[in-house]
């Protein structure tokens, strides 16, 4: 896609359920693989929560010439201000280099301004040269955030087994499961807390933990993410962790096929919080360990997240859990 324009500008309108087949066909032509289920879920999500999704199409000569799908980021990755995340964009091959992509991006930008979003964010593989060139032409720049990921199968906890000497009354020092030390004689990390699939009943506890971590009331964001986790079985991989009968941490993640043009399923870790009163108890490691187990059952091979470069504490924790810089780059456009 380029910024060149030829002839009349296409008509831009919101995507509708009846556009599904055309979007799937264009996407398959561009990616040589059908992602029908992903596109269908994104259209359904927009109908369910229209305030959190922006989806437009370009119509030229009575035919769909291109599309763009984005969603609102409210508090993911520690954000404090809303922005838009560009997830999927495509232009029919015979309508490329005619300004269709720019028209779609202009419509998306206008929608974002009306809804209080300050930035448009997205990501791409470092070697997707065509997409990177289009981002450059559309005035995107590299974002300061770092995308990191790890293989789901790269779970160091698999080799950890319960220490038969770790009996009630044992006064030995507690093992730090965030360290790189060899803890082969220890409990599995996921056994250090009662980790469960998130449910509607957890809302108040999750809001409480999040407020203690962030110092902000993010009830609306938490409620939206919880509803998403409950309503869409394709992304239900969010977890809570309990110690002494109370929720002390939570993890919000989604697993889907299609974001940013990907053809392999990847889980995205949006939020991970642990009550400060329960830090250094292995809660975060327990949740990530259980997440790996759940993702393996879904045949998902990688999990990724985005970290601010100045968040050294979170970066260090995630690196200790096997995360490393991804082959994907983050981009932002005001």
- On whether residue 1 sits in a domain, the answer given is no
Separation between Cα atoms, residue 28 and residue 36, nearest integer Å:
9
In eight-state DSSP terms, residue 278 is: G
- On whether residue 262 sits in a domain, the answer given is yes
Separation between Cα atoms, residue 72 and residue 210, nearest integer Å:
20
- On whether residue 134 sits in a domain, the answer given is no
pLDDT digits (tens, 9 = 90+) for 258-291: 565 566 778 889 889 999 999 989 999 999 999 9
Domain boundary pick from 98, 118, 138: 118
Same domain, 28 and 166: no
Same domain, 54 and 185: no
Percent of the chain predicted with pLDDT > 70: 79
- On whether residue 34 sits in a domain, the answer given is yes
When divided into structural domains, the chain yields a total of 2
3-state secondary structure (DSSP) of residue 255: strand
CATH number at residue 271: 3.40.630.30
Which structural domain, as residue segments, surrounds residue 57? 11-118
Total-model pTM: 0.78
Residue 123 reports pLDDT greater than 80? yes
Q: Judging by DSSP bridges, how do beta strands 246-256 and 239-243 pair with one another?
A: antiparallel
pLDDT digits (tens, 9 = 90+) for 198-209: 888 999 999 999
Mean pLDDT of the chain: 81
- On whether residue 124 sits in a domain, the answer given is no
Same domain, 154 and 198: yes
Residue 196 reports pLDDT greater than 60? yes
Residue 325 reports pLDDT greater than 50? yes
- With bands split at pLDDT 50, 70 and 90, how would you rate the model's confidence at 77? low
pLDDT digits (tens, 9 = 90+) for 95-114: 988 899 999 999 999 999 99
Long-range contacts from 178-187, C-beta under 8 angstroms, 24+ separation: 178/280, 178/282, 178/284, 178/285, 178/317, 178/320, 178/321, 179/320, 180/320, 184/159, 184/160, 185/160, 185/161, 186/160, 186/161, 186/162, 187/160, 187/161, 187/162, 187/163
């Amino acid at each position: 896609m380029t910024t060149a324009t030829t002839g009349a500008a296409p008509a831009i309108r919101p995507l509708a359920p009846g556009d599904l087949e055309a979007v799937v066909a264009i996407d398959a032509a561009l990616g040589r693989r059908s992602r029908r289920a992903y596109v269908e879920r994104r259209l359904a999500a927009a109908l369910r929560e229209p305030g959190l999704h922006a989806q437009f199409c370009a119509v030229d000569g009575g035919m769909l010439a291109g599309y763009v799908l984005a969603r609102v980021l409210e508090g993911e990755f520690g954000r404090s201000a809303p922005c838009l995340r560009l997830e999927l964009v495509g232009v029919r091959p015979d309508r490329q280099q005619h300004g269709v992509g720019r028209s779609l991006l202009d419509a998306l930008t206008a929608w974002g301004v009306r809804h209080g979003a300050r930035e448009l964010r997205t990501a791409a593989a470092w070697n997707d040269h065509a997409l990177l060139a289009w981002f450059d032409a559309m005035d995107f720049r590299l974002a300061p955030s770092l995308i990191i990921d790890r293989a789901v199968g790269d779970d160091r906890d698999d080799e950890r087994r319960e220490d038969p000497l770790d009996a009630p009354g044992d006064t030995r020092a507690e093992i730090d499961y965030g360290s790189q030390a060899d803890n082969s004689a220890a409990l599995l990390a996921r056994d250090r807390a009662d980790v469960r699939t998130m449910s509607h009943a957890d809302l108040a506890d999750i809001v409480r933990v999040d407020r203690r971590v962030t110092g902000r009331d993010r009830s609306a964001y938490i409620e939206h993410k919880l509803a998403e986790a409950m309503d869409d079985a394709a992304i239900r991989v969010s977890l809570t962790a309990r110690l002494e009968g109370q929720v002390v941490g939570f993890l919000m993640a989604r697993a889907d096929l299609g974001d940013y043009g990907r053809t392999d399923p990847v889980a995205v870790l949006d939020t991970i919080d642990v009550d400060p009163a329960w830090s250094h108890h292995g809660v975060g490691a327990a949740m990530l360990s259980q997440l790996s187990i759940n993702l393996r059952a879904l045949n998902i091979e990688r999990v990724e997240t985005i970290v601010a470069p100045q968040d050294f504490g979170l970066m260090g924790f995630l690196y200790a859990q096997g995360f490393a810089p991804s082959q994907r780059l983050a981009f932002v456009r005001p």
